[in-house]
Structures are given as structure tokens and as C-alpha cells.
Amino acid sequence: MHPARRLTGPFALATAAALLLAGCTSGGPAGPGGAVTSPAATVPPSTGAPEPAAPSATPGRAATQAPSSSDPAAAGLATFTFPDGKLSFTRPADWKAEVFEASASPYVGTATIYDASDKQLVSIYYGQIADGVSGPVTRTVFESVPVPGLQGRSTPEAHASFYVDWDDDDATYHLQLTAGAPATGPRDAVKGIILLGDRVLTAEVLFDDQQFPDDKTARAWFAGSQGQALKAILASFTYR
């Protein structure tokens, strides 16, 4: 196994924020190489006037948008908006999204998407501090598509990407937002951090109990209804 290397750049995760985030969900998997924490670098809050906000959760407490139907095909899609009114995404209407605001200043919030059986499927982080680790891997990219609602909002522009990273004999599959389109071949495994003004965004499907035995199985899953529904969620993000 190759050791993870700390990224250098304008963002570093605060240990306190990490503990708060750990407390608000039942825990998604760490990215390849594991999480590395360091003193926080806070991005100055935006000075622009906020958009009209969706109904707000009390900071530090969870709020849930409940499912509206038990039949996803009949129910269609529902829109979820973070309490600041800026970041939104869509999901099947019989799935639910739960938001947790860990800090109002600097802003730190997370959301978890659950399917109709209450299984955690997607973990989303949105805030003014962030974390990243890197390490050498060999990557195979299955698909990467731009996220229309985030185009022009970040550089590199956000993509919804499905790929596998090989670290020696260990394969880790990812379906997540990436900064730009990932490329196949040897490279550093970097968590997808999308820069949105004074905020950062990460969104990743949780494969804690569903790593695939091989690429053929992974491709078949991705082409099926769950894989396509999760890809659609990632591709639906918008930022105002």
C-alpha cells in the first residue's frame, strides 16, 4: 500500500468540524488513504446578499425532508435545498434527505440521502472548510459527465464521475462529484472537492457494503436503476 500524502492548497479540515460531521451521520467510508486532519483554514464569508432561504434547521441539529411517496416511478423527483438557499439537488421523491448544520460561522453543513428502505446512499459536505488527501493509484474511469447546474461556478468544472482506483491489489470504486473529469491511468487519488465561491462541496455515493468483485459487475450496477438514480442526483446539483 502506498502512504497517503497531504494536499497543499487553500483548504484544510478542522478537527472539530470533522468530529461534528462524524456525529451527524452513521458514518460513510473514508476515501482512499483515510482522512487526515490539520488546523482549519477558514474561507472569509461571502459578502453578497443571500438568496431567499429554504426553511432552516437549527444550527447543530438535524432536520429531515420526508419522502412524499412510496413509488419512485410514480412520485418522480423532489428538490432538496440547503438552509442557506444556495445549494440544491434533486432526488427520487420517495427517498429522503437529512441535513445537519454543524456550524453557522464558518458555515459547515452536511446532508445524507436515504432510499425508501432507510439505507444511507449519498454523503454530502457543504461548508467553508475542507479536507483532502492524496496517494498514488492506477485509475480506470467508466463515465464522467458535467454537472450543468455547477458549470461556470467552479474551476475545474464539476463532473459526476464513476471510476475505480487500484492501490496495489486493492480496488476502491467511487461514484462522486469530481473537480474536472478524472482520467484513466496512474495518478494521485484526490477526493473530489468542488470550490463554490467561499464554499466547498463534496458529494459521494457510499459503497461501505457494496464494493464490486470486478469492473464488469460495477458497470452492470451502474447501468441499472440504482446506479442511474444516484448518477442523476450528483448531476442535479445547482448553486445560486
What local confidence, expressed as pLDDT, does residue 104 receive? 86
pTM of the model: 0.70
Q: Which helix (H) or strand (E) holds 222?
A: helix 215-223
Cell 491489489 belongs to 169
* Collapsed DSSP state (helix, strand, coil) of residue 52: coil
Q: What is the pLDDT of residue 195?
A: 93
CATH number of the domain bearing residue 187: 3.40.1000
What is the C-alpha R_g of the chain?
17
Find out whether 194 and 177 touch, Cβ atoms under 8 Å. yes
Q: Note the pLDDT of residue 201.
A: 96
In a domain, 103, yes or no: yes
pLDDT for residue 135: 81
Per-residue model confidence (pLDDT) at position 133: 66
Instruction: Note whether residue 149 is domain-resident.
Output: yes
Please, what's the b/e burial string for 11-44 (b: 16 or more CB within 10 A of its CB; e: otherwise)? bbbbeebbebbeebbeebeebbbeebbeebeebe
User: Which residues of the chain are modeled with pLDDT < 70?
Assistant: 1-75, 132-133, 190-191
* pLDDT reported for residue 210: 74
**Phi-psi domain of 190 (left: phi exceeds 0; alpha: psi -120 through 50; beta: other):** beta
Cα of 78 vs its chain's centroid, Å: 18
Work out how many domains the chain is built from and give that number: 1
> Which residues fall within 8 angstroms of residue 162, CB to CB, at 6 or more apart?
141, 142, 143, 144, 173, 174, 175, 218, 222, 227, 231
Grid cell of 123 as nine digits: 454523503
The range of the structural domain enclosing residue 152 comes to: 77-239
Q: Is residue 140 part of a domain?
A: yes
